[in-house]
Amino acid sequence: MVDYNSVVDNISQNHSFKPNIADTSFYRTYSTDGSKPIQVRVSNHGTFLRTWDAYADYIPSYAINICVIFTGNGENDSNTDVDMNIYDNNDNKKTIGHKQDYEVIQYTYNCSLLNNDDVAKISNCIMTIWQNKSFSDPFKGTDKKAKIERLKPNQSPELIIEITNK
């Protein structure tokens, strides 16, 4: 068993992740000319979509958004509530449009099942996201695998079940 706070601190420090505005999770953004930017977050709590929309260095609907979270029991407190309205700068109550929908793919690990070697494997997989444009769970098909969910604004999280070839 590993401590989820220590895991998040270790990954963020070793891989140059920056704290978000509330200093409760850490992120790293990568973009190249001609391709979608990728933002990866690591945290010890569920994803709050309103922060992806409000504090992103880019427009989330044009990006690949991935969150890897570590909790004590594999559960999370994710929240998909987002105000998707665009307001007039001169009249904050006047709606002038709507934001484009976006998604975040969230991987939740249960730290009570992990040891330090497992965390090192996950950390290495996080660092390959920029090359692969996706996250590959090193424990797919085992009891240590991440719970994978697709989060979209104002929708219930959608559980993604990965099919493994046997």
For residue 103, count other CB atoms closer than 10 A to its CB.
Answer: 20
d(CA 28, CA 17): 5
d(CA 7, CA 47): 17
Cα angle: 107, vertex 111, 113; to 5 degrees: 105
d(CA 95, CA 8): 38
| C-alpha neighbours within 13 Å on the C-beta side of residue 110 | 11
Residue in 143, 135, 157, 161 with CA at minimum distance from that of residue 38 = 135
Per the CB < 8 A criterion, the answer to whether 81 and 122 are in contact is no
Convert the pLDDT of each residue in 61-109 to its tens digit: 889 999 999 999 999 999 999 999 989 988 878 999 999 999 999 999 9
Convert the pLDDT of each residue in 112-162 to its tens digit: 999 999 999 999 999 999 888 899 999 999 999 999 999 999 999 999 986
